[in-house]
Structure 1
């Protein structure tokens, strides 16, 4: 298992390009690396040694050096092919399948690829004809992507998109059509298009040839067409013999994938498919067979499971049922992903997947692979069985329609009755779907209009045809992408025994009742594996698989997700109607049971994908970061402000140094926080900046004090009362959104001063407006109510998504901070001029001194901040040193 990359047509720069590409996917092969350049072609290879540690180094060359090959994957029937090639006169110097792959191409050309049974992405350079050939296995288990410029004839390819981007030969742009189809229809991994404009994937069973004359792509196999022909025939009737034959073929497929010179383990979700793989191996160990191929497993099989105790989708009970049955043959590893780890890993997880995905489900696989790589190098998994044997409930609909179309009404009635529990689940799912919000209202109208003619369709009344469609085009390609990305991120080889062309060919020679019968899907798998599986697994009806408790997690991490939706970058995207998305997410926060998370995840995933892959290459990330918080010196004024002000109160000049800080939360100790930044200020200051011999003050924003005291609340934590909802309607919102014109802030006012006082103040305020007197409401409600702030869009998180009460006992806070200042290691003449601390509520509309320990009047202190020098933007400058200049 490895990573391949390469180029065509870059001349003298080829070596540097392929080196960068190879370095970008070093995680795919930590055991070795190599490059080749010749003619127009460059190849690069990263190696994860699995078979023949000594003899499989790549690029691999033919004896005459005409051919050079970079190969990723495993061809499981390489022993048989080597014997055939030896009979044809070929000689071999290694024990690796790599050499067999190259000699097969030398013997049969591109027809060789159809002879392989395995997973592979292969690039072969013919130095004699200056031709590059790239091929991908029959199912597309191993990925390979390419970028081709028709005008210049240049090409880049790689196992990962990251390696193509690392070549730095073009600026990546999003494929808007792919983004739309993903958002609207949940389509992904479709055809040869990717989410990147001009980057394509080699399709399953396809060979791409590049010469100076251009690029051509064609199928090397007729596997899909052969299966469709088999689907048109009635097939062999199901029987005990057929069942046993399938069981033996599955066992052989598993056995083939145990070939390795390194340790092999199994991914165990608790579902039927992965449990069948683990059980076959465990049963062999239990019986003590002498087959050498099982040596790679060891005396006990390592299994790896993601479990979510107390969550609705937890499968630990099923996992345990298998572990208990094979207690002496399995060494179990259980991993416990949670919302916190998901949030921590989110950036790397998005980068690992390279393109948006339908749900957070693959994260469970991601954490399993991270643990598995500590114990094994190869991991078997159960992917593919669902698509080949109707493992998902909607396949029942397809089968019922098929029976109806064929006028097999008795069989239809029988199947619907036997699967009435499935019918009920399908009906409930359909009703839930009707009640959920569609994606369309959340999209930018211009974006949606561009693609309004896009459609999706699937075979709806032919079971086998639908299975073929989903195996090669719809469902399985995405699962195989997750498998490859998650395993190779942690230098692990994933193998999928169900995704075997001979196993699938045999399955499709059988009648449909081998797949779905008497209300049971995967019939032949269930019955053939029944002897080695607990009934709890072989007869289970509910399918979960590698998923996460996404609904529970989103509720727990809603603050972080909300901040993303409220960000400048999200608002700037051409895909979304940001205010509508935010409003819907706010409703989700208040009523999570009324919403699903799949819609929000798709929107979030596109945003995070753009930040990860598109923004940096287009110079956007730096601009966004500067807009969020510009790193600045405290000796430079905030934008649009001045350091000095002439006080209207005493006609003296004051200099205000705005100090930039980090964010504050409920765990912040405000004295330590302030001391840290004052010490930094003193260290940066020049002698002329320090207030030696001058009067000076420390001003601190009341916001950060309130937050540190736990008096700031996310809007979804506040449940407005009837009184708050009614009274807030009569308050005019300020342009910045500050004040009590919101049910959230009005509710805080009622909590702070009581409903009678607030209602009375509101009445007085209404009368005051009639007679032309302003401010009566706040005069009667009190200073604490005046200081209540609502969420302000332009403020730093969390102020942009929260409402807050004024700080508790601000005078005491001021005294504590002043005591801290006087204890600092500052020059005596500087400390002598310190007048004290001021807790200030200032904005562009006015000033309000909430607390202080200085002798100056509130009017004098307010005049020092008449222009709000700290601003309300994301400069994050909640502290100021204020020095009297004359």
Structure 2
């Protein structure tokens, strides 16, 4: 696991500023503390930080082909590199190392842009081909590894594993993108391909960017998509058996490592299943770790311990302070742009714990998106059944009216909190799902912005992100559609971003067998009722795991990482929240209606409303703005 950075002059062969390239590489030292390397020739500069995992003695980067005409910097792991190496050797290519990185340069020579279709793993890389005068960027199928890029007014293309790398270049302009701000306050993260800055983009998952010097920058090109293509009919037993076998194989290929390897173990279905697969494949005890909370509402330690004892793992658990809010400003530096998933705090801590024992950890990420494990899928399916009973036009008029006039009643018993349901019923499928997952609903978000900022938005609405993905979805089944949307938005934008930044902050590599792209594609072809049945998510997965995992692990209520935001903002963070959200940084940004922000804070702290999710997103936005403002001149895009 590593970090990459680079500068390529697309207009000519002007000298690359070695000091700037070095600064870009140094700012990501945490991603690869073992070694660093650079390559500079006329108009091209590539840089790399290395966390050594495979071929410790000879896997240094940048790495070249035989005649040094092709060079690559690479972040990730290609698990099928032994098979690809054999195939490429048969084609006449010569290898100097035993590492997966070298496969990339020879695969490019053999198969060109289609080489990424042959890779199985997680990756983000930049390849320069001197003979073709071509830069080729690639990102893995599901977006496990990040890649940001920007075309500067000078004609230089800069790129890097983290956004902070781009900010080290003095030519980068840090103007905020109003649409990204709207996306953030709707989703709690900024979905690909946008970043918080107008001038920078994320390369989307399963996309490449190939540009020849002298040509205009083309749009990224998709090379893969989740198919949601139905399989031939099979029984539940057949599907469950094949699912377990495919997971076992996806786990097996992720056990290759020359450094200590273990697993996260939360006690949930997905991480427990991965640990079970590892235990069956390993001759020595699996190293597992988990975190515990004093608050029983959030504590899963007893379930993790039960799984650890069943599979005789070398287990480590550490209790996290429930008031662990000392990381707030550190998160802003780690994520480089506003990010409002509060589970980033415990995720950071569990990565910190894991790194004390291992350099590589397997996780259960991906099971909820693949197998419909989120509770919101159940509620969305329920709402869809109700929507299907009435035409959209009638629902918009009747339920739209009820949603507007019915009072917001957070304090009332759930049966009387009908406003949200009315609002959802007035929407179509995509609108309804957007409404359900938004950090701030349209009703809360609409008054958030100042009049001047609303003019900058020019009518843009964050729903357009989901609409765009839905328009390209290969399925119209209501459940499969929202799974597809989540795989395109929430998975890479929130879940995988959280894990990448938290793990790499501790120089820890995380591998996710449930996000093996052939496995994801196969699961997508299972009937929707195999995934969600009778309100039970992951139905077929749990049935298949019944002989392997205890019943209370499989069928207990889902908990997940959570932090007590409601109590924090009325207690220990009360004053900090007021000072931040209502302070000069937010006011001077010009984004907000400050009177409305005061209303949100007052309503929450008085107990009148629960605005904890909205206030957390505002707090993290303020922390981002302050971190950016406090950065040195070079980071601000000013002349050094």
Alignment partner, residue 494 of structure 1 = 510
Query: Normalising by the residue count of structure 2, what TM-score does the alignment of the two structures yield?
Result: 0.85
**For 1:471 and 1:115, how far apart are their aligned partners in 2?**
21
Alignment partner, residue 222 of structure 1 = 224
Alignment partner, residue 592 of structure 2 = 576
Give the C-alpha shift of residue 543 in structure 1: 2.1
Alignment partner, residue 297 of structure 2 = 312
Alignment partner, residue 695 of structure 1 = none
Structure 2 CA distance for partners of 1:520 and 1:427, relative to 1, 3 Å: farther
Alignment partner, residue 154 of structure 1 = 156
Asked if 2 retains the 8 angstrom alpha-carbon contact of 1:121 and 1:134, the reply is yes
Alignment partner, residue 473 of structure 2 = none
Asked if 2 retains the 8 angstrom alpha-carbon contact of 1:104 and 1:112, the reply is yes
Asked if 1 retains the 8 angstrom alpha-carbon contact of 2:151 and 2:158, the reply is yes
Higher relative contact order (CA 8 A, sep 6+): 2
Selected match of 1:302 from 287, 296, 317: 287
**For 2:270 and 2:342, how far apart are their aligned partners in 1?**
21
Alignment partner, residue 496 of structure 2 = 480
Alignment partner, residue 454 of structure 1 = 461
What is the 5 A alignment of 1:381-392? 381-392=363-374
Alignment partner, residue 189 of structure 1 = 190
Where 2:234 maps in the other structure, the secondary structure is coil
Structure 2 CA distance for partners of 1:615 and 1:58, relative to 1, 3 Å: same
**For 1:350 and 1:335, how far apart are their aligned partners in 2?**
24
Give the C-alpha shift of residue 283 in structure 1: 4.4
Where 1:551 maps in the other structure, the secondary structure is helix
What is the 5 A alignment of 1:119-518? 119-149=122-152, 151-183=153-185, 185-186=186-187, 188-210=189-211, 211-224=213-226, 227-228=227-228, 230=229, 233=230, 235-285=232-282, 288=283, 299-326=284-311, 328-339=312-323, 341-342=324-325, 344-400=326-382, 438-451=444-457, 452-456=459-463, 457=466, 462-518=478-534
Structure 2 CA distance for partners of 1:34 and 1:453, relative to 1, 3 Å: closer
Asked if 2 retains the 8 angstrom alpha-carbon contact of 1:120 and 1:137, the reply is yes
Give the C-alpha shift of residue 372 in structure 1: 1.6
Q: Deviations over 1:104-130 (max 9, x none)?
A: 111111111011010001111112232
Give the C-alpha shift of residue 322 in structure 1: 1.7
**For 1:446 and 1:571, how far apart are their aligned partners in 2?**
13
Alignment partner, residue 420 of structure 1 = none
Give the C-alpha shift of residue 608 in structure 1: 0.9
Structure 2 CA distance for partners of 1:428 and 1:347, relative to 1, 3 Å: farther
Where 2:167 maps in the other structure, the secondary structure is helix
Q: 5+ unaligned residues in a row in structure 1: which ranges?
A: 289-298, 408-424, 622-886
Give the C-alpha shift of residue 620 in structure 1: 13
Max radius of gyration: which structure?
1
Asked if 1 retains the 8 angstrom alpha-carbon contact of 2:122 and 2:143, the reply is yes
Alignment partner, residue 599 of structure 1 = 614
Give the C-alpha shift of residue 440 in structure 1: 2.7
Asked if 2 retains the 8 angstrom alpha-carbon contact of 1:390 and 1:522, the reply is yes
- 2:552 maps to 1:552: no
Asked if 2 retains the 8 angstrom alpha-carbon contact of 1:119 and 1:141, the reply is yes
Asked if 1 retains the 8 angstrom alpha-carbon contact of 2:581 and 2:618, the reply is no
Where 1:5 maps in the other structure, the secondary structure is strand
Alignment partner, residue 49 of structure 2 = 46
Give the C-alpha shift of residue 47 in structure 1: 0.4
Give the C-alpha shift of residue 315 in structure 1: 2.1
Query: Normalising by the residue count of structure 1, what TM-score does the alignment of the two structures yield?
Result: 0.62
Give the C-alpha shift of residue 396 in structure 1: 2.4
Q: 5+ unaligned residues in a row in structure 2: which ranges?
A: 390-412, 424-439, 471-475
Give the C-alpha shift of residue 17 in structure 1: 2.1
**For 2:543 and 2:101, how far apart are their aligned partners in 1?**
37
Where 1:69 maps in the other structure, the secondary structure is strand
- The total of aligned residue pairs comes to 580
Asked if 2 retains the 8 angstrom alpha-carbon contact of 1:304 and 1:335, the reply is no
**For 2:417 and 2:122, how far apart are their aligned partners in 1?**
36
Asked if 2 retains the 8 angstrom alpha-carbon contact of 1:172 and 1:617, the reply is no
